[in-house]
Amino acid sequence: QVQLVESGGGLVQAGGSLRLSCAASGSIFSINTMGWFRQAPGKQRELVADITSGGSTNYADSVKGRFTISRDNAKNTVYLQMNSLKPEDTAVYYCNAYLEETTGWVGDYWGQGTQVTVSS
How does pLDDT run across 44-79, given as a tens digit for each residue?
A: 999 999 999 999 999 999 999 999 999 999 999 999
Q: So what's the pLDDT on residue 9?
A: 97
Q: So what's the pLDDT on residue 1?
A: 82
State mean pLDDT over 10-38: 96
Q: To the nearest whole number, what is the mean pLDDT of the chain?
A: 96
State mean pLDDT over 91-104: 96
Residue 103, pLDDT > 90, answer yes
Q: Which residues of 54-68 are buried (b: 16+ CB within 10 A; e: fewer)?
A: eeeeebeeebeeebb
